[in-house]
Structure 1
Amino acid sequence: MYTKNEILELKNRIIQLEKENKTLHETVEFLTHKLFGRSSEKTSVIAGQINLFNEVETESKPSAPEPTLQEVANYRRKKFNGQRAELLKDIPHDTVICGLEEDERFCEKCGTSLVSIGREFIRTELEFIPAKVRVIDYYRESYECRKCRKEGLPYIEKSPMPYPVVQHSMASPSTVAHIMYEKFVDALPLYRQEKEWESLGVKLSRATMSNWIMVAARDWLIPLTKLMHQKLIEEKYLHADETPVQVLMEPGRKNTSESYMWVYSTYAGSQTPIRLFDYKPSRSGNCPQKFLKGFKGYLHTDCYSGYNKVPEVIRCLCWTHLRRYFVEALPKDIKSPEATLPAIGIDFCNKLFSEEKLLVNLTPDERKMKRLETEKPILEAFWRWANSIKQSCLPKSRLGKAVDYAVKNKEGFMNYLIDGNCAISNNLSENSIRPFTIGRKNWLFSGSPRGAEASAAVYSIIETAKANDLEPYSYLKFLFKNLPGVQFEAHPEFLDEYLPWDQWVQSSCKKKA
């Protein structure tokens, strides 16, 4: 027979095992969803239930009639007059006249010759013209003064030549810009570009293309990113994020070691939008501390503690990250009672995002006042709710981690109320780093630290170009055509003319509407 104490111990052990079992089931569901489920955090709205998944909350109307099958069947995509003309307005047009041959222009009744009386428009087609390459051979003319030669004082002058983007190579500005655009915008690895060049009749190896990228980035792009870095530090509001990257041949490290690509961005209202990538072999807080040396202001990040090493900043934490924790805490069956608490957390976040949508066009001072009026009560209610359920949540459960994540970092989540220029989320930085993460899925790793640094420079130029409404390929080509030959080492101020917000650059590389 068991004693009372032994029975009590067994009951406690059973309760503990049930909790562990529940946590393990939750973990399996979460990992299964990560592997096979949708990556989007949006979910459907169920009438009569809390709106879980629309980032901007909308009022559900249970009384609204459901669409009938006939209504659904009759749905057609809305079109408007001139839609096709608007789509093709900036594309060159050629006209093809379909007429009768000369020997067919006669009347079948009387044999008289036919005369054209007009044209009838039939249709418009979009034609694809494959890319082509051409070789440009540069020659330099020499000029001689015949008079001086007769006097025994020969004088010869040679015409100036454009500087090459890569010395002692056949690389042109358009070629290097195209290779960079394909890899860093379209996420096309160099081995696939190698095949494309071969189809055009050029055997251009991936090693050659890689070397062109590294040399062009070192000579022309990195000096420009260093200038952007100086201007970034002068800002008052910044965003930061980081993501892993595998880099081969790092000194003293295995090829399987995890390195990081950091990104730093100016805030949405900046007059000089900048997006800078910085490759580092670690995720240490020393990395942002060194990069942001001299910066004083508001820093928008996730809750990673490494950013605490950056001195003299006010950290504004990301509510999108917090919302994601609650989304991940949802069970597979969102109708189950266990979905209620995560749904409430999501609903609080949705209400805040919904309020933020209404403040976009306000001035910073107006936005600050409106936030205190409309969002602070929601925040206070959220913290009361989070503290009330904290003790009842299993610490290792997804919900327990979400609540703990919120409560422990309350100050950082509230700091965006201090200044109207601060943002409720770090989405700006996440959107900047997303093209890198997409590209990483294709090219998988950087071949060397030099390659990773070159990649960081190219991504910086491309994402900064996008932020300034420039066409990335045009901007890269513009830089490689005009920067070689500029004596910016002796006169650093010359580089100011090549920054993406300069009028000359804007007029030359502006993205077409």
Structure 2
Amino acid sequence: MLKSFNALPADPEELRHAAQGLLDLAKSQALKIEKLEHQLAGHRKARFGSKSETADQLALDLHEDRDIGQAAHAQQNDTGPADEKPEKRKHSRAPLPEHLERQSEVLSPGKTCTDCGGSLRPLGEDVTQELEYIPGRFVVREIIRPRMACSCCDAFAQAPLPSRPITRGRAGPGLLAHVLVGKYCDHVPLYRQSEIYAREKVELHRSTLCDWVGRATALLAPLAEHIGKVVRAGPALFADDTPVKLQTGKKTGTAQTARMWSYVRDERPWCGQAPPCAWYQFSVDRKGKHPAAHLKSYKGIVHADGFTGFNGLFGEGLATEQACMVHVRRKFVDVFERTWTCRGLMPLL
């Protein structure tokens, strides 16, 4: 220690510079420690913290199971005497939609009194509404085109076949739309749809459905391109990407993480007249060249998160960046939680 003190410079100015250097080193170390503590807190939260979505889903499952049990108990109690007043239900009933077709069935007691034989006259009526579902059914649409021959010149005449979605295919436009909605809107895989149709004694193999979907997507390509033009014609749009699993085909069960890029035009918050629409693009990776190619020559405002892949969209003569305030808020929340955790205190929230 004495040797260290003896090694200190005698000049006050040099001593001040040495002290400032030590102070800067201490600040640098403190910032590094704080950064590492922040990363450690984030890893701990990601690994051991409660998942809000999982907890909410569990709560929904528990509530559904409880409601199902109560409904089953109520159904058992409803089998008592008809004159016994049933227990009042806790949930409210919304009126049935007016646009639904009404099928009325009149149950009349007759026109003659069963006690004295006199004629009955109406006093009013009670209407009980019951919501019913009639499942869709398959039909075979036959297009008959008679072949005609001229009696004078022996020339043949026949009406041309109308335009069909798939040439020489059996699927009508309604069935194609039903298959596409089931797969992409209701998330019903094609093999399950094949099993559903088999219950109606209609054999549609999964390979056949795959062929229909592939050809239908080619037919819808011009519509997707038009939607992309409409989205990019707006003054502002929202951009984001979502990870999706892509089967590699090299080995059964192997997959890689691909990306689905979404670009949304929605002017309703500022009373815009254009209808909202979304444009989707797919890529096998998350490189920034993909959004740069999608929004090439776009000069509007792009609302996106802090992903560096979007940086190629902004600059002189390019689009204007509108940062996402939700992502900024997350950083403040992380710092707030980490600060209280390090101090061993609980926030008064």
Larger Rg: 2
The structure-2 alpha-carbon separation of the partners of 1:273 and 1:18, relative to structure 1 and needing over 3 Å to count, comes to closer
Identify the match of residue 316 of structure 1 among 315, 322, 338: 322
Flag the 1:38–1:328 CA change in 2: closer, same or farther, 3 A.
farther
Contact 1:142 1:158 in 2 (8 A): yes
How far the C-alpha of 1:171 sits from its partner, in A, is 0.8
Matched, 1:130 2:130: no
Equivalent position SS for 1:154: coil
Contact 2:300 2:320 in 1 (8 A): yes
Task: Check conservation: 1:260, 1:280, Cα contact below 8 A.
Answer: yes
Amino acid at match of 2:323: L
Partner of 1:107: 114
| TM-score of the pair, normalised by structure 1 | 0.47
| Match in the other structure for 2:44 | 28
Q: Which residue of 2 aligns with 1:264?
A: 263
Q: Distance in 2 between matches of 1:28 and 1:20?
A: 12
d(CA) in 1 for partners of 2:237 and 2:41?
A: 40
Equivalent residue runs for 1:385-464 within 5 Å: none
- The residue type paired with residue 102 of structure 2 is H
C-alpha displacement at 1:164, in angstroms? 1.9
Does the 8 Å CA contact 1:300/1:315 hold for their aligned counterparts?
yes
Over 3 Å counting, the alpha-carbon distance change for 1:171 and 1:78 in structure 2 is: closer
The aligned residue for residue 280 of structure 1 is 283
Partner in structure 1 of residue 192 of structure 2 = 192
Structure 1 position 119, deviation (Å) = 4.6
CA shift for structure 1 position 276: 1.0
What amino acid maps onto 1:120 in structure 2? E
Alpha-carbon distance, 1:174 to partner: 0.7
Structure 1 gaps of 5+ residues are 5-12, 41-75, 344-513
C-alpha distance after superposition, 1:40-89 (max 9, x if no partner):
9xxxxxxxxxxxxxxxxxxxxxxxxxxxxxxxxxxx7788xxx52xx321
Kindly tell me: are residues 37 and 201 of structure 1, through their superposed partners in 2, closer, same or farther at Cα, counting changes over 3 Å?
Answer: closer
SS at match of 1:263: strand
**Deviation at 1:36?**
6.7
The SS at the match of 1:295 is coil
Structure-to-structure mapping, 1:59-138, within 5 angstroms: 84=95, 87-100=96-109, 105-108=112-115, 110=116, 112=117, 114-138=119-143
Counterpart CA distance in 2 for 1:250 and 1:236 is 41
SS at match of 1:299: strand
Mapped to 2, the partners of 1:137 and 1:329 lie a distance apart of 69
SS in 2 for 1:261: strand
* C-alpha distance in 2 between matches for 1:328 and 1:97: 66
Which of the numbers 302, 305, 308 marks the counterpart of 1:305?
A: 308
Quote the RMSD (CA, aligned, Å): 3.9
The Cα shift of 1:122 comes to 4.1
Contact preservation (8 Å) 1:238, 1:300: yes
Contact 1:235 1:295 in 2 (8 A): no
Matches within 5 A, 1:341-356: none
Distance verdict in 2 for CA 1:27–1:247, change over 3 Å? closer
Q: Is the 8 A contact 1:107 1:114 kept in 2?
A: no
Structure 2 gap segments, 5+ residues each: 5-28, 58-89
The residue number in structure 2 matching 1:425 is none
Q: Percent identity?
A: 24
Cross-structure match for 1:401 = none
Q: Which residue matches 2:147?
A: 142
State the aligned residue count.
280
Name the CA distance, whole Å, in 2 between partners of 1:185 and 1:296. Answer: 32
Pick 1 or 2: higher relative contact order, CA cutoff 8 A, min separation 6.
1
- The verdict on how the C-alpha distance between 1:97 and 1:139 changes in structure 2, with shifts beyond 3 A counting, is same
1:24 Cα deviation after fit: 4.0
2:294 aligned with 1:291: yes
Whether the 8 Å CA contact 1:26–1:331 is kept in 2: the answer is no
